[in-house]
Chains A and B, each alone.
Chain A
């Protein structure tokens, strides 16, 4: 088995381990609800499996690093996978400080979704373009990702907090938005399901189109086209023709992917709701019935406190140093830079709001979710939608 195959297999092992650990954490909570007797045992087992998964993924990371000769954080697949790993690492750190089982029940599925999302990107090893050939790639990207992951734990704590305090039996804004968060998670599953399905089918349709600058280009769809590119013409079409043509500034291929994910996600969501006969937030609610809100709030705050300096160092300071070396200016208002600054400003506002009365607890939890939303926006939307210097993937 070659190193790169080994690396891939280790990632599979990690993925499965996280999946099992999630179930075990669920089991630990169920047990404690019933008798409270076996809680410790289940919890220990769950964290052990999590650790096995983490070390396995660390193995993936290291073997891939050795194979490619650079830190495996240079494209969307590599970075997003590493981000998932760091979320697990941050969870483990916080778990050993606070010993809260319920965190695993949310942190691990979030990490799983992120890794699954990563797997939808091409995972071939690609050599580095000159601007990435620097030790700062390793230093900047890993520190930034680590900071983001620790900040993500505050969203995990926030979500659990909200699952407990939001009354899902009564109609309210909170109930709506909490369910919206759950829906978004299901849409990610939808994306993973539909991408892997079409990729397993080897689906491909080719079109020519006219881009926004007026040049004629070719594009390959990996999903049946719902939206067509500007002035598209089929070169090789399978299954269906685009239903709607988009203007030149919209990438209809990506829009098609979003549409398919939403479609499948929505079907999945309603399937779950109809089978369970309740909202998804209501399904989770009994699992978090007994969590200590005070402690959750503390975890949410603490993870921002721990993550904020790391994020500042990695995503702003190291980023500026490298930008000065590679691009000759430490700051250039590239969309990725701007969104890193926005993330930073947001968490700065969060920390200042914590000083004011009435912003701890539920409001803090909502803010933590919004913060994670900004981080994901910077990861996904900025790379894929807003073109800039960071569009490596």
Chain B
């Protein structure tokens, strides 16, 4: 690849569109253009210049803005597909039956959707690769454009060739009567007043303002990359914890993911607004609205060096009320109120009754968290508990079975001993049903009430990537604000000793404001009136197509 030597003698890298030194157009295309392409100030975009090895080809692929935009669109479209049906994580069914759920609820489309992997799109390998490629594109495209642009803007010359100036969007040409120095001084003064940096070189002047705004996009890209890197770091062990535990009132249990810490659920509180649904709400079936979900907890910690299971010397860390929007924070962990279940059985009371007379011989309360072998009612009356199944699911070979350890459907096999029945009578009692497996009984265990407790679901999170994401977000916002709310304005002016003036101006966005500056300086320094070449081009086209001359649109419309 050869360098291009400009007419001014400067040697430019291959691919340069406008001479780095004087601004003369170097390519045929730019020479044809009425207004030159100033996007990267005509610098050689590095990738465009070499295209030899496979590495260069891959590099150039990702460097292209077109590829970048295509990747954005592809990401956008695939992301939208994932919202057609609920994602698996929001489907309320056990993992194993989720595919069946999609087919059952959404028919053939649900099956198709699930088979294609769209039901878990966002953690699919192909979605991650698309996003990853977008990240690669952001990095490479920024490297390829940001660095040369920075160099070019840093090494700007004051004096530019006329062919450069005349190909700017804003151009003015004419004669001034005042002396060249006077004009240049006036322009300098006015531009400085408007907070421009002014540099002069003989008969030439360059006024510039807001150059940093050109780097806004590159800054925000840095923020984005940092953000993506943060998201990636979550996968590194130790950076991210996401667990859930259920704790019943009165229970103390180890906190999953938070070694050495224990949580006691002292009380779960559900409050509702005492609103009466009215008017339209009533029509729409709006119910009483929940006001507060809260778990009063105590957080404990094992002493230093204690081993698992050793709860003998727990140290209290703090009492706290975990509410929605008010997680408990401790040592980089946060505990969230995520769910609840009201009125789980805690104790069941039974009265021992004579079936015929209905006479009660006394009551027993069975604490389901700690049932006892025998309940002595005195006077030779006692109840022996033979079997307890917290979640009765039927008999297997005559033995009652339990489906889980939660007291969802407690059942008991009692032996009732009274002076009349010293051998004892056997009775199997479940909710709303009593079986007498060994024949007719004189006595029964009559259900006499319950005590309940609530359970709460607490989610445990640790996310050490959050500071990284936060910094990434801030950098992104700074970059995007710089790039959006500021703009890079430049004015080139050349005043020949004979009074001939050439002026050009460029702004990367917001020409409207630039024109206000130009109007001010034109008036103050008595410069010739400038023209906006895009307007004239547009007008030419309009005239050519309409064939008639309409007056130029005015800004008040």
B324 touching A326, Cβ below 8 Å: yes
A126 touching B325, Cβ below 8 Å: no
Chain A residues within 8 Å of B89, by CB: 332-333
- B389-414 toward A: CB 8 Å interface, digit per residue (1/0)? 00000000000000000000000000
B79 touching A292, Cβ below 8 Å: no
Q: A233 at the A/B interface (Cβ < 8 Å)?
A: no
Q: B538 at the A/B interface (Cβ < 8 Å)?
A: yes
In whole Å, how far is A384's beta carbon from the nearest beta carbon of chain B? Answer: 13
Chain B residues within 8 Å of A349, by CB: 69, 72-73, 76
Find the B residue at minimum CB distance from A334: B90
A292 touching B557, Cβ below 8 Å: yes
What CA separation (Å) do A326 and B278 show in the bound complex?
A: 28
Q: A127 at the A/B interface (Cβ < 8 Å)?
A: yes
A100 touching B556, Cβ below 8 Å: yes
B82 touching A291, Cβ below 8 Å: no
What CA separation (Å) do A353 and B65 show in the bound complex?
A: 8
Docked complex: A324-347 residues within 8 A CB-CB of B: 324-330, 332-335, 338-339, 341-342, 345-346
- B506-519 toward A: CB 8 Å interface, digit per residue (1/0)? 00011110000000
B79 touching A342, Cβ below 8 Å: yes
A309 touching B477, Cβ below 8 Å: yes
B283 touching A127, Cβ below 8 Å: no
What CA separation (Å) do A136 and B325 show in the bound complex?
A: 10
What CA separation (Å) do A135 and B323 show in the bound complex?
A: 15
Q: A356 at the A/B interface (Cβ < 8 Å)?
A: yes
In whole Å, how far is A90's beta carbon from the nearest beta carbon of chain B? Answer: 15
What CA separation (Å) do A138 and B324 show in the bound complex?
A: 17
B534 touching A355, Cβ below 8 Å: no
Chain B residues within 8 Å of A40, by CB: 556
Please classify how large the interface on chain A is, using the bins under 10, 10 to 19, 20 to 34, 35 or more.
Answer: 35 or more
Docked complex: A178-219 residues within 8 A CB-CB of B: 204, 212-213, 218
One of B171-179, B249-257, B290-298, B423-431 at the interface? B290-298
Contact of B80 among A317, A325, A326, A338 (CB under 8 A): A338
Q: B554 at the A/B interface (Cβ < 8 Å)?
A: yes
- A314-326 toward B: CB 8 Å interface, digit per residue (1/0)? 0001001000111
Q: A66 at the A/B interface (Cβ < 8 Å)?
A: no
One of A6-14, A57-65, A295-303 at the interface? A295-303
B65 touching A328, Cβ below 8 Å: no
Chain A residues within 8 Å of B473, by CB: 317, 320
Q: A309-B484, A312-B476, A352-B68 are in contact. Are A290 and B554 (CB under 8 A)?
A: yes
Q: A357 at the A/B interface (Cβ < 8 Å)?
A: yes
Contact of A99 among B90, B289, B538, B556 (CB under 8 A): B556
Contact of B325 among A32, A122, A325 (CB under 8 A): A325
B90 touching A388, Cβ below 8 Å: yes
Chain A residues within 8 Å of B325, by CB: 130-131, 133-134, 136, 325-326
B289 touching A126, Cβ below 8 Å: yes
Docked complex: B328-353 residues within 8 A CB-CB of A: 334, 336, 338
Docked complex: B253-293 residues within 8 A CB-CB of A: 273, 275, 278-281, 283-286, 289-293
Q: A130-B292, A295-B555, A355-B65 are in contact. Are A309 and B485 (CB under 8 A)?
A: yes
Q: B553 at the A/B interface (Cβ < 8 Å)?
A: yes
Q: B358 at the A/B interface (Cβ < 8 Å)?
A: no
What CA separation (Å) do A293 and B325 show in the bound complex?
A: 49
Chain A residues within 8 Å of B73, by CB: 345, 349
Q: A22 at the A/B interface (Cβ < 8 Å)?
A: no
Q: B327 at the A/B interface (Cβ < 8 Å)?
A: yes
Find the B residue at minimum CB distance from A336: B83
Q: Which of B87, B275, B473, B556 gathers most chain A CB within 10 Å?
A: B556
Q: A387 at the A/B interface (Cβ < 8 Å)?
A: yes
Chain B residues within 8 Å of A330, by CB: 466, 469
Q: A39 at the A/B interface (Cβ < 8 Å)?
A: yes
Please classify how large the interface on chain B is, using the bins under 10, 10 to 19, 20 to 34, 35 or more.
Answer: 35 or more
Find the B residue at minimum CB distance from A328: B336
Q: A124 at the A/B interface (Cβ < 8 Å)?
A: yes
B279 touching A124, Cβ below 8 Å: yes
Q: A306 at the A/B interface (Cβ < 8 Å)?
A: yes
What CA separation (Å) do A122 and B273 show in the bound complex?
A: 19
Chain A residues within 8 Å of B481, by CB: 309
Find the A residue at minimum CB distance from B460: A328
Contact of B484 among A99, A130, A308 (CB under 8 A): A308
Q: B39 at the A/B interface (Cβ < 8 Å)?
A: yes
Q: A386 at the A/B interface (Cβ < 8 Å)?
A: yes
Q: B535 at the A/B interface (Cβ < 8 Å)?
A: yes
Q: B363 at the A/B interface (Cβ < 8 Å)?
A: no
A295 touching B512, Cβ below 8 Å: yes
Chain A residues within 8 Å of B72, by CB: 345, 348-349, 352
Chain B residues within 8 Å of A345, by CB: 72-73, 75-76, 79
In whole Å, how far is B188's beta carbon from the nearest beta carbon of chain A? Answer: 28
Contact of B512 among A249, A298, A332 (CB under 8 A): A298
What CA separation (Å) do A22 and B332 show in the bound complex?
A: 55
What CA separation (Å) do A349 and B39 show in the bound complex?
A: 17
Q: A100-B555, A127-B289 are in contact. Are A294 and B535 (CB under 8 A)?
A: yes
What CA separation (Å) do A386 and B72 show in the bound complex?
A: 23
In whole Å, how far is B484's beta carbon from the nearest beta carbon of chain A? Answer: 4
Q: B52 at the A/B interface (Cβ < 8 Å)?
A: no
Contact of A342 among B80, B105, B334, B532 (CB under 8 A): B80
Docked complex: B469-499 residues within 8 A CB-CB of A: 469, 473, 476-477, 480-481, 484-485
Chain A residues within 8 Å of B275, by CB: 126-127
Docked complex: B531-550 residues within 8 A CB-CB of A: 532, 534-535, 538
What CA separation (Å) do A40 and B284 show in the bound complex?
A: 49
Chain B residues within 8 Å of A329, by CB: 242, 461
Q: Which of A136, A291, A346, A349 gathers most chain B CB within 10 Å?
A: A349
B484 touching A293, Cβ below 8 Å: no
Q: B114 at the A/B interface (Cβ < 8 Å)?
A: no
Q: A248 at the A/B interface (Cβ < 8 Å)?
A: yes
In whole Å, how far is B76's beta carbon from the nearest beta carbon of chain A? Answer: 4
What CA separation (Å) do A249 and B68 show in the bound complex?
A: 38
Chain B residues within 8 Å of A382, by CB: 83
Find the A residue at minimum CB distance from B511: A298
Find the B residue at minimum CB distance from A332: B89
Q: A53 at the A/B interface (Cβ < 8 Å)?
A: no
- A235-276 toward B: CB 8 Å interface, digit per residue (1/0)? 000000000000111000000000000000000000000000
Chain A residues within 8 Å of B242, by CB: 329
A290 touching B509, Cβ below 8 Å: no
What CA separation (Å) do A334 and B512 show in the bound complex?
A: 40
What CA separation (Å) do A262 and B76 show in the bound complex?
A: 29
Docked complex: B310-336 residues within 8 A CB-CB of A: 323-325, 327, 334, 336
Find the A residue at minimum CB distance from B545: A167
What CA separation (Å) do A285 and B187 show in the bound complex?
A: 44
What CA separation (Å) do A212 and B93 show in the bound complex?
A: 14
Chain A residues within 8 Å of B511, by CB: 298
Q: B362 at the A/B interface (Cβ < 8 Å)?
A: no
What CA separation (Å) do A136 and B323 show in the bound complex?
A: 15
A309 touching B122, Cβ below 8 Å: no
In whole Å, how far is A135's beta carbon from the nearest beta carbon of chain B? Answer: 9
In whole Å, how far is B481's beta carbon from the nearest beta carbon of chain A? Answer: 5
What CA separation (Å) do A31 and B389 show in the bound complex?
A: 88
A328 touching B512, Cβ below 8 Å: no
In whole Å, how far is A156's beta carbon from the nearest beta carbon of chain B? Answer: 14
Q: A292-B553, A349-B72 are in contact. List 11 more A-B contacts (CB 8 A).
A: A126-B289, A220-B284, A222-B283, A294-B535, A309-B480, A309-B485, A325-B325, A332-B89, A334-B90, A352-B65, A356-B66
Write 11 A-B pairs (CB below 8 A) sorted by A numbering: A99-B555, A130-B323, A133-B325, A218-B285, A249-B107, A292-B553, A295-B512, A309-B477, A312-B477, A349-B72, A352-B65
The 3 closest A-B pairs by CB, nearest first: A122-B280, A292-B553, A130-B324
